[in-house]
Structure 1
Amino acid sequence: MSKQAREDFLADAHVGVLSVGGDPGEAPTSVPTFYAYEPGGELTMFTGTQRRAPRRIDRIRKAGVVTFVAQREEMPPAYVTVEAELVSVAPPTVDQMLTIVRRYMPEEHAQGFVHGELDDPENTVLLLTFRPTRWLTSDTSTD
């Protein structure tokens, strides 16, 4: 893919898969996630601190880098993989979360989802921001 094609592909709404390495002898962790990206910008996603997320966030902070994959599910297959460095981990605003979630859900569902995440007293939501540093791509419709 050309630079413009890969950035446009990543900017489309795909469920992405975030992967981060573990300590020696530990398997990498991979998790599907909603995300937002605009060509030339940074990759953002959020995660709560319930379940296994605290360990994943610790791994991301320690590694400082992740691999992120977005793919087209239907034929012909295509994907964009980026290696990306961690820029920040911080509490998100409602608007930042809605920017991500609106890509995947209608407005009424997006509002409910975001407020459900933020209003849960047992969940701390964190916004992860990454800067793409290396790209790997394939689009079998044009290869």
Structure 2
Amino acid sequence: MPLTREERERFLAEPHIAALAVAASDGDRAPLNVPIWYQYEPGGDVVILTGRTSRKAELIGAAGRFSLLVDRTEPTIRYVSVEGPVTDTRAATLKDLEEVSARYLPAEKVPGYVDFASKNHGEQVVIRMRPQHWLSSDLGQV
């Protein structure tokens, strides 16, 4: 059964690991599909951080859009898929890295992770996507 707008936005706002998919720019490869941390507040844009020179960032830049899929299996099988255009790309700050890390890690682990990531992951960018197309379902409501 499809989720209501409020249900799908609330579910997407939870800290799931998303599968990001973006079209490959060369014709002999399938779309890139990788796990990623993200941020979302109902009614807003989806926000991701990634390496400035990563394949992910390059493909998103070329395509101008991407999709995310989040799901769970307990207590019911539920998923939300959202796709839309990129609305902004900018250099990431330490504050951006702290915010997304705090969404997924226990508070005591955030400073160590931020320190490690800022020293080892290279320059990061923040990419914003405006949700345009949604698919969702809760198969436990059938």
Do Structure 1 and Structure 2 share a fold, with TM-score over 0.5?
Answer: yes
Match of 2:9 among 7, 17, 28: 7
Q: Secondary structure at the match of 1:35?
A: coil
Once the two structures are TM-superposed, the CA of residue 82 in structure 1 deviates from its matched residue by: 0.4
Once the two structures are TM-superposed, the CA of residue 142 in structure 1 deviates from its matched residue by: 2.4
Q: Secondary structure at the match of 1:6?
A: helix
TM-score by length of 1: 0.89
Aligned match of 1:119:
119
Aligned-residue CA RMSD (Å) = 1.6
Identical pairs, percent: 32
| Unaligned runs of at least 5 residues, structure 2 | none
Aligned match of 1:33:
36
Give 1:1-143 correspondences, 5 Å limit. Answer: 1-22=3-24, 23-49=26-52, 54-120=54-120, 123-143=122-142
For the 8 Å contact 2:50–2:56, the answer to whether it is kept is no
Matches of 1:39 and 1:48 in 2, distance apart?
Answer: 26
For the 8 Å contact 1:88–1:130, the answer to whether it is kept is yes
Query: Given residue 108 of structure 1, which amino acid in structure 2 is its aligned partner?
Result: E
Matches of 1:56 and 1:101 in 2, distance apart?
Answer: 19
The superposition leaves residues 11-39 of structure 1 with CA deviations (integer Å, 9 ceiling, x where unpaired) of 01100010001132221101101111000
TM-score by length of 2: 0.89
Once the two structures are TM-superposed, the CA of residue 103 in structure 1 deviates from its matched residue by: 1.5
